[in-house]
Amino acid sequence: MKKISLLLLALLCFSILPSCNTLPDSMNAYTGPMLGHVDQDRALIWCSLEAKGSINLKFSEDSELQNSKILSIDDFEVGTIELKDLKPNTTYYYQLLTSKDSKPAIYSFKTAAKKEDSKKLRFLFSSCSGRQASDEATTWNEIAQVKGLDMIFQLGDNHYADTTDPKVISQNYMSRRKLDGFVRSTTSVATYGIWDDHDFGPNNSDSQTPGREGSLEVFKKFWANPSYGEANNPGIYFSFQRGDVQFIFLDSRYHRTPNKSMKANDPKKTLLGIKQFEWLEKTLRLSKAKVKVVACGSEFQTHGSGDGFSGFRHEQNKILDLCKEIEGVILLSGDRHFTAAYQIRGETLEITSGPLGSKNSNARKTPDMFIKHSSGKMYSILSIDTSENEARIELEIFQVAKGKIESRQFSWAEINGKKRIK
């Protein structure tokens, strides 16, 4: 009888333990993780807790996390954890210690190689996720099966909240971050994002959209990019270099003049804003990289919609003139709900990729277009090899449930407008 009483007392004590201050954090489930920016000596990892609490991130070069280091953060809810002082070209294993699971998963990533050793890159890019998270679920399940990716780029309309309400935007992000295929795709592959109108605010939103500051703050919480805008100019644009490739990502919304506020060729009308354009020009001119990849949520091409650079002719011409002048520029874009490729003005390569989950729009054939796909959910992969004097570029286009639907290699002469792409 005495033994039974002691057992009941022990069970009672155990049942009330979660109410004490030392256990709730260990019961806190997380969403993610998503690997963000990775370079030679650091890595950024995004995750979110279901309730504010403490989070521990354990990492090591050992697959069983022997001799590991632990980062502990209090009052964490959603955001980015930075790992510093890493070795280049090294595989690291990491684990989040806040899960309800008795055996938290172990993930891995590889740091960037030194510039002189990084000669080949392969990255996936697309846009237009769809109204509901389920719209893109199948696509992410397929992407999770792709091997040999160095990076993933999401080029805008990454959700369709169509508002600047931080709570609604956060809910839309979370519904997608919980997708099993997305998690499997991004725990080990460096993932970057920029926005377009639907994940910034309402359709065709711009610098006059009320609440844009709130949209910016939520974006920073949900992406682990290397930086956001400049000290004197807020936004989501940033740049980084991998090997002999410079990546430049643009903000297509925060500083945009309203689409219909003035004529397309008015010099005062701007999609990027004066300071961001000056930053773009300076970044391109100072870059020593052989290849410069410039990505934007809006299309650059001259026969596009008024919501792209075609609605901002003066700035469009300035950018295309700059691309013609500087060797090795490739343009990437989203927004259009189809996948297409152009040699703009017979000079500059642009690839528009999507949709990940949205309904399709029909791609209208234009004089500069040489690839056109308007059916199904799609993503693209670009491979860049800078090991030779002339960089080699290959584009692969994938349609969900059909696999690779087109593959195209580009010569250095085609990239630099010395030869017409047919």
Q: What is the pLDDT of residues 183-200, one digit of tens each?
A: 999 999 999 999 999 999
Please, are residues 303 and 311 in contact by the beta-carbon 8 Å criterion?
Answer: no
- Identify the CATH number of the domain defined by range 21-110: 2.60.40.10
Query: Does the pLDDT at position 279 exceed 50?
Result: yes
The residue-averaged pLDDT of 361-368 equals: 95
* Range list for CATH 3.60.21.70 in the chain: 115-415
What is the pTM assigned to this prediction?
Answer: 0.93
* Calpha distance 195→154 (Å, rounded): 8
Query: Does the pLDDT at position 23 exceed 80?
Result: no
State the pLDDT confidence band at 412, using cuts at 50, 70 and 90: very high
Which residues, 6+ apart, have CB-to-CB distance to 76 below 8 Å?
49, 52, 53, 54, 55
State the pLDDT confidence band at 8, using cuts at 50, 70 and 90: very low
Q: What is the reported pLDDT for 199? A: 98
The DSSP output letter for 85 is: S
Collapsing DSSP to helix, strand or coil, 75 comes out as strand
Which residues, 6+ apart, have CB-to-CB distance to 246 below 8 Å?
239, 240, 283, 287, 289, 291, 292, 293
State the pLDDT confidence band at 15, using cuts at 50, 70 and 90: very low
10 vs 421 pLDDT, higher one: 421
pLDDT in tens, 267-277: 999 999 999 99
pLDDT in tens, 378-404: 999 999 999 999 999 999 999 999 999
**Other CB atoms within 10 A of residue 297 CB:** 30
* Range list for CATH 2.60.40.10 in the chain: 21-110
The residue-averaged pLDDT of 221-238 equals: 98
State the pLDDT confidence band at 101, using cuts at 50, 70 and 90: low
Pick from 344, 346, 331, 335: nearest CA to 395: 331
362 vs 1 pLDDT, higher one: 362
Q: State the alpha helices, DSSP H only, in 160-273.
A: 166-177, 180-186, 197-200, 212-222
Range 115-415: architecture per CATH: 4-Layer Sandwich (3.60)
Q: What is the reported pLDDT for 103? A: 75
Pick from 238, 235, 240: nearest CA to 273: 235
The edge-to-edge listing of strands for the beta sheet with 378-385 is: 190-194, 151-155, 120-126, 378-385, 392-399, 403-410
> What kind and span of H or E run contains 249?
strand 245-249
Q: What is the reported pLDDT for 100? A: 59
Q: What is the reported pLDDT for 17? A: 30
pLDDT in tens, 244-257: 999 999 999 999 99
pLDDT in tens, 143-188: 999 999 999 999 999 999 999 999 999 999 999 999 999 999 999 9
* Calpha distance 159→336 (Å, rounded): 14
- Radius of gyration over alpha carbons of the chain, in Å? 23
Q: How far is CA 379 from CA 17, 351, 352, 400, in A?
A: 49, 11, 10, 8
The residue-averaged pLDDT of 362-385 equals: 97
Q: What is the reported pLDDT for 99? A: 57
* Calpha distance 96→35 (Å, rounded): 13
* Calpha distance 167→175 (Å, rounded): 12
Average pLDDT, the chain: 93
Which residue bears the tokens 């936004």? 235
